[in-house]
Amino acid sequence: MKIIKIKILFIILFLISACSSIPKNTSNSCSIFNERYLWFKHASKSEKKWGTPVYLQLAIIKMESDFDWLAKPPRQKLFKVIPYKRPSTSFGYSQAVNGTWEQYKKETGNKLAVRTRFKDSVDFIGWYTSKSSSILNISKTDAFKQYVAYHEGWGNYKHYKKNKKIINLAKRVEKQSDVYKNQLKECRTSLSRNKYIIFCNNTANWRVFASCTFGSKSF
């Protein structure tokens, strides 16, 4: 009986590890969704709810965390050597800071949302970009301006033209968004037709029926 429990625990840990790992090719939207089919469902749901395209959601995550669910800003260093505090509270896929994440949870009623869960992260991006559209009159398909607002905040958005760094970052997001958009044209139909969900890690040669239950619902 003890051996069986150990085996079950090992399987659960394996599933969680596989589902929370970074996709192999984060530059290709079709590759991402072939590995993480539930991510496609979550991103599509966010698009339907908030109006922000799937490809823009992915482009923001790509820039912010490169799909690392535990991503944090690197620590600052004292005297260029001693590790010090982090420059912000940014965390997870979306790199949302504490205050904005709490605002999102309060306004949407999604009180159990966590930044390490992809489902909540794309919903957060949809919420944020939707507010940017309302507050700053930015199109939800304008990757450049949406990312500027996402990175700088609604209050600082008007000053972005003086910031070459954010302009360059926004251009990269715009370019990546276009790449994801064109890639999705090749696979979105087939992804939408799938009636079952493929196990998170294709290399494992597993096909799980309903979902990657242990991983995708949590991550």
Integer Cα distance of 158 and 136 in angstroms: 9
Query: What domain range includes position 112?
Result: 2-216
The answer to whether residue 86 scores a pLDDT higher than 60 is yes
**DSSP three-state, residue 77:** strand
Overall number of domains in the chain: 1
pTM of the model: 0.81
- CATH number reported for the structural domain that contains residue 174 in this entry: 1.10.530
Integer Cα distance of 190 and 83 in angstroms: 47
The answer to whether residue 82 scores a pLDDT higher than 80 is no
Tens digit of each residue's pLDDT (9 = 90 or more) over 24-56 = 999 999 999 999 999 999 999 999 999 999 999
The answer to whether residue 156 scores a pLDDT higher than 60 is yes
Number of helices (H), then strands (E), belonging to the chain: the values are: 9, 2
Listed residue (49, 19, 43) closest to 30, CA to CA: 43
Q: What is the pLDDT of residue 81?
A: 63
